[in-house]
């Protein structure tokens, strides 16, 4: 992925700030515990002294004495944990707090970019820094079945099962999803739930509304507003682990858009990269709006979930106004 030096430095500075904040929090908590539990500090000081002694023993080849010190150190750690829990703290209260537990907020694992670093790059490249905040508020725990009934409820339940299985089997099998149906029935919500879960699991996700995706591609293709950047959006769009294309059909559809949509879906299929599409279009409208090649790609390679029923957002707003 092509980042400018300034963009790369900005990401590195972000990691530096996180580690600094974590260290500051750890120091504040340590100070708090030392003041409330003086005996904990005594055990901490003794642990530090014995750890140095253990290192010296090993350097001198005195393995037996070093092992004895190891047993003593383990006992001291048990005593410290007991002090914490007895005072109402968790056993890991003084451990560093990391945003990413995999790389410990360094951005790298064994010299390779961590998944969180790659997602930071994607967020920056596509100016989607708010994707984490958006997805953080939407999860499978928030799925509600109370607003639909009958066949509409059955369809929603089936779509939720498909969505959860998509996440469960993501690393095992290549798969794609199409959510289609009436407005406000949960298509974008379920797409966001999947994206959120996969980001948590370390996968790179690019999320675009249909209009924004083709605007981005068009801007690059036609060099609008005199821009001359050679940074191509295609490789990231084609190669990210998951592409979420929301509200297909809301874009201004023309021959260029149809061509780019086919290329995007075809390239991702050839590379076996998963895609989720949501649309308010009915299947016959989808077929009529786009050419046969696109419709064939979707029908052949996507699990299709239809959602129907009342617009939940309007229903909730109506209920709020009655209060």
Going from the C-alpha of 201 to that of each of 104, 156, 241, the distances in angstroms are: 15, 25, 11
Find the mean pLDDT for residues 47-59: 80
CA–CA separation, 36 and 43 (whole Å): 14
**What's the pLDDT at 135?**
67
CA–CA separation, 24 and 46 (whole Å): 23
Do 196 and 139 touch, CB atoms closer than 8 A? yes
CB atoms within 10 A of CB 109: 15
Domain with CATH 3.40.50.300 in the chain: 126-322
- Choice between 254 and 69, residue whose per-residue pLDDT is larger: 254
Q: List, for residues 150-187, the tens digit of each pLDDT value.
A: 998 999 999 999 999 999 999 999 999 999 998 888 89
CA–CA separation, 138 and 193 (whole Å): 6
Describe the strand order of the beta sheet including 177-181 as a list of residue ranges. 205-209, 242-248, 274-279, 177-181, 303-307
Q: 126-322: which CATH topology? A: Rossmann fold (3.40.50)
pLDDT category, 28, cuts 50, 70, 90?
A: very high
pTM for the model stands at: 0.64
DSSP three-state, residue 67: helix
**What's the pLDDT at 320?**
54
Sequence-distant contacts of 37-43: CB under 8 A, at least 24 apart? 37/83, 37/84, 37/87, 39/83, 40/80, 40/83, 40/84, 43/76, 43/79, 43/80, 43/83
- Choice between 40 and 227, residue whose per-residue pLDDT is larger: 40
Q: Is the pLDDT of residue 136 over 70?
A: no
Do 121 and 129 touch, CB atoms closer than 8 A? no
DSSP 172-236: TS---EEEEESTTSSHHHHHHHHHHHHHHTT--EEEEEHHHHHHHHHHHHHTGGG------SHHH
Find the mean pLDDT for residues 20-46: 94
> How open is the CA angle 167-106-124, to the nearest 5 degrees?
65
Phi, psi of 112 (to 5 degrees): -105, 150
């Amino acid at each position: 992925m092509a980042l400018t030096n300034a963009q790369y430095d900005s990401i590195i500075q972000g990691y530096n700030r996180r580690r600094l904040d974590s260290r500051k929090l750890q120091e504040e908590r340590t100070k708090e515990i030392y003041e409330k539990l003086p005996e904990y500090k005594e055990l901490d000081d003794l642990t530090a002294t014995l750890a140095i002694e253990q290192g010296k023993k090993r350097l001198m080849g005195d393995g037996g004495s070093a092992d004895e010190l190891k047993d003593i150190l383990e006992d001291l750690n048990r005593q410290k944990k007991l002090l914490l829990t007895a005072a109402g703290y968790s056993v890991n209260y003084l451990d560093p707090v990391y945003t990413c537990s995999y790389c410990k907020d360094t951005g790298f694992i064994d010299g390779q970019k961590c998944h969180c670093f790659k997602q930071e790059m994607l967020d920056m490249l596509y100016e989607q820094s708010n994707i984490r905040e958006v997805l953080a508020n939407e999860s499978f725990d928030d799925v509600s079945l109370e607003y639909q009934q009958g066949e509409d409820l059955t369809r929603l339940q089936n779509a939720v099962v498909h969505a959860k299985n998509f996440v469960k089997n993501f690393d095992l099998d290549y798969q794609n999803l199409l959510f289609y149906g009436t407005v406000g029935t949960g298509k974008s919500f379920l797409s966001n739930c999947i994206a959120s879960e996969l980001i948590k699991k370390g996968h790179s996700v690019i999320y675009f509304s249909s209009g924004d995706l083709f605007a981005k591609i068009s801007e690059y293709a036609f060099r609008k507003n005199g821009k001359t950047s050679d940074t191509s959006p295609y490789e990231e769009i084609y190669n990210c682990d998951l592409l979420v294309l929301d509200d297909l059909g809301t874009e201004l559809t023309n021959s260029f858009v149809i061509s780019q949509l086919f290329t995007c879906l075809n390239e991702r299929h050839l590379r076996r990269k998963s895609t989720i599409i949501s649309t308010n279009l009915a299947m016959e409208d989808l077929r009529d709006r786009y050419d046969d090649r696109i419709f064939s790609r979707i029908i052949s390679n996507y699990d299709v979930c239809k959602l129907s029923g009342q617009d939940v957002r309007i229903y909730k707003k109506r209920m709020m106004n009655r209060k």
